[in-house]
């Protein structure tokens, strides 16, 4: 029996931090069952601090590119997951997704303070993304 991976699209406003980290985490840890992609309501750049904190857990997203939602026009997904309130409001319906879900996270790109304080916020969001998405896909019975 051939297993077809579920396709998931993570959406955020700028496709620079949360959605990029979610794509990297899911492809790294759950890639045997899920194929993840990310996009934004606008394309910007991949945040260097997001790249740094992902590298710390063995995931290289340095070659990722920020993409606009239109890059996936015509493609279908099993899940479309918005990670920020703005994307959730801006994209209330995405035809390519059989199931739309919102799992919100604070935006680490808005963190202020010392470099250590900013890194702590990125670490926290990265770890929350891994924890919440793993729990979500377990609930959906995609992973054990």
Q: How many helices (H) and strands (E) does the chain have?
A: 4, 4
Catalytic position from the list 46, 51, 54, 84? 84
Catalytic position from the list 12, 39, 61, 87? 12
Instruction: Measure the CA dihedral 47/48/51/54, to 10°.
Output: -90
pLDDT at 143: 84
Indicate if 17 belongs to the active site. Answer: no
pTM beyond 0.85: the answer is yes
- What does the alpha-carbon distance between residue 131 and residue 128 come to, in Å, rounded to a whole number? 5
Please report the domains of the chain, with CATH numbers, ordered by start residue: 6-139 (3.40.50.2300)
For residue range 16-54, what is the model confidence (pLDDT) as tens digits? 999 999 999 999 999 999 999 999 988 999 999 999 999
pLDDT at 89: 60
């Amino acid at each position: 029996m051939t297993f077809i991976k579920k396709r998931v699209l993570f959406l955020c406003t700028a496709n620079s931090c949360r959605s990029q980290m979610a794509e990297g985490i899911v492809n790294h840890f759950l890639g045997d069952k899920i194929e993840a992609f990310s996009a934004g309501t606008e394309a910007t750049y991949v945040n260097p601090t997001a790249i740094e904190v992902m590298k710390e857990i063995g995931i290289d997203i340095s070659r990722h590119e920020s993409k606009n939602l239109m890059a996936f026009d015509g493609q279908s997904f099993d899940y479309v997951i918005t990670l920020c309130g703005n994307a959730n409001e801006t994209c209330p319906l995405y035809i390519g997704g059989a199931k739309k879900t919102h799992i919100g996270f604070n935006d680490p790109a808005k963190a202020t303070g010392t470099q250590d304080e900013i890194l702590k916020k990125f670490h926290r969001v990265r770890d929350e993304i891994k924890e919440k998405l793993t729990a979500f896909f377990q609930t959906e019975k995609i992973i054990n």
